[in-house]
């Protein structure tokens, strides 16, 4: 009797397993690839924009359904719970902006073992927990572009200075190294990078440093601030000194925070990664991985619609593109997003 | 018979800490203006004064607490909370006038100072411990209030941002407010009963109690004054830098304490004056604003800043010792 019961139990388990497999096959036949954009938390304009990009890409690719998910609070636990559910639902791909680069690894490994393609973007998962990690840009592209932006504003002449975050900020220092490389080019021969100063990402210190830069270098034509706090403070300092249009301000800044200064001409252009493009590119990458046209190996080139193509580098890192440029024509649109 | 000769007058004047500081200030200005002549331009002087206005307000608040024998480490966090609150109110209710925002800042600062004061006076917790706790609590409250977000220039009303920048008789409103605070506090500490009681409690608490000074009341008052001034500073800070961020004024307590100590305020309480604190603030202002313009590497700047402060303090202490020795000799003689 006991043995019979056990048999029934096993049989039913196997059957359910088969059945589950069966529904999955049916979905695949229908051609609906299901992907999920899993974000840090719901209700964040930045991620709403990411999803907008994903929808745009899904529309172009066709036969792919994208869903927007995220825990109510930005916790790793909340994301783990959602991924467990997604494994049960057997979706085809997940793009994650992780709340913790390590904590998600066990569950994403489980998802990948179940055949789900997992990638991370914006806030990456460490190697082993995803196939590829999409980064908005890399130090070289960012650094070189900063000089280009300043050059356009100053007609390739005059002194320029950099007002950075703290002296030991890794990102900023890398970007500044690339700025120094870029300005060596012959086309910048009439420009001179006179000094790098540090505002420590504090508005008052940044403001004070910006004021001293203007005093020290009468021929100063532009200040580059590769940090949003510094950019805000510098814009205000330039405006207060009545030097709008004399000393140009550019850098990396959040559109919602810089909107006022961009509209009044103090900072005529600045750059930052664009969340729409991140969602858009993530969707193209997932699509290629699901189709099996790429498996995310180092050196793979994955086509990405209007973003052209992206290349998988060491450790599965993908650098999307040069940061997006914001000016008075598009700032209103993006300021509403992030 | 008192000596009225000029030499004696000069001697007396230079025995005071304030005069030492003025002298040092000039000594400092000479090499700076040689190296960077534009430093002494009217425009730059007004920049420095404007830059120091907020610090002078906060340092005066800190002065009263130190004078009573305590210390207030929570000033930066009170500035942040009040500044953030003013910024957020300005964003949500743009019809509220900037003057009312300043008042709001003061009220918030009073409330936070009151908590500090009650804990110190009636909870009998040493001021350094109390404010070491509240510096974190108030900073945490700032994050809770803002939910981690910022208020930036375009979310604030032009009238609020313009408030500290508007000039009256060629001097910015920010400076006028600082002058007003300095004058008021000078009067308070020199000519009011409570003001003198603070000196008494700081100088000799036991003796003060015997002559009928209510120690608890004085301890609450000093934190109330410090809180109110920080609250006002917070409201001005947000307008001046056209942004309210959660980390604003972090570490500002160190600058406030440094201004007091430079100005000759006795760290164990009971001695010091408003004029000294204002001069101490000015000295700090010249040092922090001059170093970036004299083409000194940024990595050297903080070092040199510390060295100059240390040097000034050493000179101060030496002149004090000299004075004390003379007093002792007089008594013996």
Q: Which residue has the higher pLDDT, A6 or B185?
A: B185
DSSP A292-315: TS----TT-EEE-GGG-EEEEEGG
Mean pLDDT of B139-161: 86
Specify the pLDDT at position B36.
76
- A260/B153 Cβ within 8 A: yes
Chain A contact for B36, CB < 8 A?
yes
Residue B167's DSSP bridge partners are B172
From the number of C-beta atoms within 10 Å of its C-beta (0-12, 13-18, 19+), residue A303 rates as middle
CB-closest option in A215, A216, A257 to B152 = A257
**Strand runs labelled E in chain A:** 33-38, 64-69, 93-96, 117-121, 133-135, 158-164, 191-198, 220-225, 248-251, 269-272, 301-303, 309-313, 317-319, 324-327
Residues of chain A contacting residue B298, judged by C-beta atoms under 8 Å apart: 167, 196-198
Report angle CA A138, A141, A147 to the nearest 5 degrees: 135
The answer to whether residue A142 scores a pLDDT higher than 70 is yes
Q: Which residue has the higher pLDDT, A1 or B101?
A: B101
Chain A contact for B165, CB < 8 A?
yes
pLDDT interval class at A20 (50, 70, 90): very low
Strands B171-172 and B167-168, sheet pairing: antiparallel
CA dist B204 and B217 (Å) reads 16
At residue A167, the 3 state secondary structure works out as coil
Structure tokens at B213: 């000074």
The answer to whether residue A294 scores a pLDDT higher than 50 is yes
CA-to-CA dists, residue B94 to A141, B86, B87, B91, B228, angstroms: 41, 11, 10, 6, 23
> Are the C-beta atoms of B292 and A211 separated by less than 8 Å?
no
Q: Residue B151 is inside which H or E element, if any?
A: strand B151-152
CA dist A160 and B36 (Å) reads 19
| Tokens 């997940």, located at residue | A94
Tell me the per-residue pLDDT of B255-289, one tens digit each, with 9 for 90 and over. 899 999 888 888 888 888 899 999 999 988 888 88
- A209/B289 Cβ within 8 A: no
Specify the pLDDT at position A21.
44
Tell me the per-residue pLDDT of A30-39, one tens digit each, with 9 for 90 and over. 568 999 999 9
Specify the pLDDT at position B12.
57
With a pLDDT cut of 90, the percent of chain A lying above it is: 54
What residues have CB less than 8 Å from B85, skipping those under 6 apart?
A: B104, B105, B108, B145, B234
> H-type helices in B68-214, by residue range?
75-92, 98-121, 127-146, 158-162, 173-191, 193-203, 205-210
Please choose, from the candidates B127, B284, B287, the residue with its C-alpha nearest in 3D space to the C-alpha of residue B219: B127
Domains of chain B (ranges; CATH) run 37-295 (1.10.3470)
Q: Which residue has the higher pLDDT, A280 or B28?
A: A280
pLDDT interval class at B121 (50, 70, 90): very high
Please choose, from the candidates A233, A100, A91, A77, the residue with its C-alpha nearest in 3D space to the C-alpha of residue A164: A233
Residue A158's DSSP bridge partners are A191
The answer to whether residue B2 scores a pLDDT higher than 90 is no
pLDDT interval class at A3 (50, 70, 90): low
Specify the pLDDT at position A165.
87
pLDDT interval class at A333 (50, 70, 90): confident
Question: How close does chain B come to A263, measured CA to CA in Å?
Answer: 10
From the number of C-beta atoms within 10 Å of its C-beta (0-12, 13-18, 19+), residue B253 rates as buried
Tell me the per-residue pLDDT of B292-320, one tens digit each, with 9 for 90 and over. 777 777 778 778 878 887 887 787 777 66
CB-closest option in A196, A203, A240 to B243 = A203
Specify the pLDDT at position B44.
78
Tell me the per-residue pLDDT of B33-69, one tens digit each, with 9 for 90 and over. 887 777 777 777 888 888 899 999 999 999 999 999 9
Specify the pLDDT at position B4.
58
Specify the pLDDT at position B13.
53
CB-closest option in B150, B245, B298 to A167 = B298
Specify the pLDDT at position B263.
87
Report angle CA B229, B232, B237 to the nearest 5 degrees: 120
Residues of chain A contacting residue B38, judged by C-beta atoms under 8 Å apart: 215
At residue A246, the 3 state secondary structure works out as coil
Residues of chain A contacting residue B44, judged by C-beta atoms under 8 Å apart: 215
Residues of chain B contacting residue A211, judged by C-beta atoms under 8 Å apart: 47
Please choose, from the candidates A63, A54, A180, the residue with its C-alpha nearest in 3D space to the C-alpha of residue A122: A54
Q: How many residues does chain B have?
A: 333
Mean pLDDT of B151-156: 84
pLDDT interval class at B80 (50, 70, 90): very high
- B44/A204 Cβ within 8 A: no
pLDDT interval class at A5 (50, 70, 90): low
- How many C-beta atoms surround the C-beta of residue A241 within 10 A? 16
Average pLDDT, chain A: 87
Q: Which residue has the higher pLDDT, B58 or A48?
A: B58
Domains of chain A (ranges; CATH) run 30-137+275-323 (3.40.50.2300), 139-272 (3.40.50.2300)
- For chains A and B, count residue pairs whose Cβ atoms are closer than 8 Å: 63
Mean pLDDT of B152-167: 87
| Contacts with A, B 275-314, CB within 8 Å | 288-289, 292-293, 295, 298-299
To the nearest 10°, report the CA torsion of A89, A92, A97, A99. 40
CB-closest option in B47, B241, B293 to A216 = B293
CA dist A221 and A248 (Å) reads 6
Mutate to test the interface with A, among B238, B241, B290, B297 (most CBs of A within 10 A): B241
Tell me the per-residue pLDDT of A77-120, one tens digit each, with 9 for 90 and over. 999 999 999 999 999 999 999 888 889 999 999 999 999 999 99
Specify the pLDDT at position A8.
55
At residue A57, the 3 state secondary structure works out as helix
What residues have CB less than 8 Å from A143, skipping those under 6 apart?
A: A174, A175, A176, A177, A178, A179, A181, A182
pLDDT interval class at B330 (50, 70, 90): confident
The answer to whether residue A250 scores a pLDDT higher than 80 is yes
CB-closest option in A198, A204, A212 to B293 = A212
| Tokens 């970007």, located at residue | A175
Q: Which residue has the higher pLDDT, A55 or B294?
A: A55
Helices then strands (H, E): number in chain B? Answer: 14, 4
Mean pLDDT of B221-233: 96
Question: How close does chain B come to A222, measured CA to CA in Å?
Answer: 17
pLDDT interval class at A207 (50, 70, 90): very high
- A215/B44 Cβ within 8 A: yes
- B39/A203 Cβ within 8 A: no
CA-to-CA dists, residue B78 to B75, B113, B141, B168, B214, angstroms: 5, 8, 10, 28, 26
With a pLDDT cut of 70, the percent of chain A lying above it is: 91
Of B5-19, B214-228, B268-282, which gets the smallest average pLDDT? Answer: B5-19
């Amino acid at each position: 009797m006991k043995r019979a019961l056990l048999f029934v139990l096993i049989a039913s388990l196997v059957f359910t397993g088969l059945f589950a497999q069966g529904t999955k096959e049916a979905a695949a036949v229908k051609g609906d690839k299901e992907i999920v954009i899993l974000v840090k938390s719901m209700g964040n304009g930045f991620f709403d924009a990411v999803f907008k990009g994903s929808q745009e890409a899904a529309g172009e690719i066709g036969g792919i359904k994208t869903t927007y998910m995220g825990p109510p609070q930005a916790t790793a636990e909340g994301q783990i719970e959602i991924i467990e559910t997604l494994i049960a639902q057997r979706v085809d791909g997940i793009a994650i902006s992780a709340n913790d680069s390590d904590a998600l690894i066990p569950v994403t490994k489980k998802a990948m073992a179940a055949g789900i393609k997992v990638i991370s973007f914006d806030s990456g998962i460490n190697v082993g927990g995803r196939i590829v990690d999409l980064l908005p840009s890399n130090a070289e592209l960012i650094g070189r572009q900063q000089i280009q932006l300043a050059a356009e504003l100053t007609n390739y002449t005059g002194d320029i200075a950099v007002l950075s975050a703290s002296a030991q900020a890794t990102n900023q220092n890398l970007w500044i190294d690339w700025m120094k490389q870029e300005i060596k080019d012959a086309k910048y021969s009439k420009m001179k990078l006179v000094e790098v100063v540090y505002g420590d990402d504090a508005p008052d210190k940044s403001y004070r440093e910006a004021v001293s830069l203007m005093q020290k270098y009468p021929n100063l034509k532009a200040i580059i601030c590769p940090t949003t706090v510094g950019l805000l403070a510098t814009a205000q300092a330039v405006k207060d000194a009545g030097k709008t249009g004399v000393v140009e301000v550019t850098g990396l800044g959040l559109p919602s925070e810089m909107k006022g200064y961009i509209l009044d001409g103090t900072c005529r252009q600045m750059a930052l990664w664009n969340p729409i493009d991140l969602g858009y590119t993530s969707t193209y990458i997932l699509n290629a991985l699901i189709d099996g046209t790429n498996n995310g190996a180092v050196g793979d080139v994955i086509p990405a619609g209007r973003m052209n193509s992206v290349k998988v580098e060491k450790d599965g890192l993908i650098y999307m593109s040069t940061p997006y440029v914001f000016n008075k024509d598009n700032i209103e649109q993006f300021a509403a997003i992030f | 018979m008192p000596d009225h000769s000029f030499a004696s007058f000069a001697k007396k004047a230079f025995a005071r800490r304030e005069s030492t500081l003025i002298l040092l200030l000039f000594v400092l200005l000479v090499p700076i203006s040689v190296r960077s002549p534009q430093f002494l331009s009217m425009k730059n002087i007004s920049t420095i004064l404007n830059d120091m206005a907020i610090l002078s307000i906060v340092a005066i608040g800190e002065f009263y607490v130190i004078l009573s024998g305590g210390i207030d480490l929570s000033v930066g966090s009170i500035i942040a909370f009040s500044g953030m609150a003013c910024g957020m109110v300005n964003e949500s209710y743009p019809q509220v006038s900037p003057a009312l925002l300043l008042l709001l800042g003061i009220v918030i600062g009073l409330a936070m100072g009151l908590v500090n004061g009650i804990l110190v006076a009636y909870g009998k917790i040493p001021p350094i411990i109390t404010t070491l706790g509240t510096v974190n609590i108030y900073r945490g409250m700032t994050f809770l209030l803002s939910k981690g977000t910022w208020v930036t220039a375009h979310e604030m009303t032009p009238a609020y941002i313009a408030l500290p920048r508007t000039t009256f008789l060629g001097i910015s409103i920010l400076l006028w407010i600082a002058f007003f605070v300095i004058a008021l506090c000078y009067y308070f500490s020199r000519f009011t009963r409570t003001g003198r009681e603070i000196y008494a409690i700081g100088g000799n608490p036991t003796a003060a109690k015997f002559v009928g000074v209510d120690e608890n009341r004085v301890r609450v008052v000093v934190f109330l004054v410090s809180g109110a001034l920080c609250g006002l500073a917070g409201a001005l800070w947000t307008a001046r830098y056209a942004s309210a961020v959660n980390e604003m004024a972090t570490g500002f307590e160190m600058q406030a304490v440094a201004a007091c100590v430079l100005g000759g305020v006795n760290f164990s309480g009971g001695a010091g004056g408003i004029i000294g604190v204002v001069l101490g603030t000015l000295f700090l202002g010249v040092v922090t604003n001059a170093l970036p313009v004299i083409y000194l590497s940024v990595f050297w700047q903080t070092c040199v800043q510390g060295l100059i402060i240390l040097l000034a303090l050493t000179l101060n202490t030496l002149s004090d010792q000299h004075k004390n020795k003379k007093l002792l000799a007089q008594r013996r003689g």
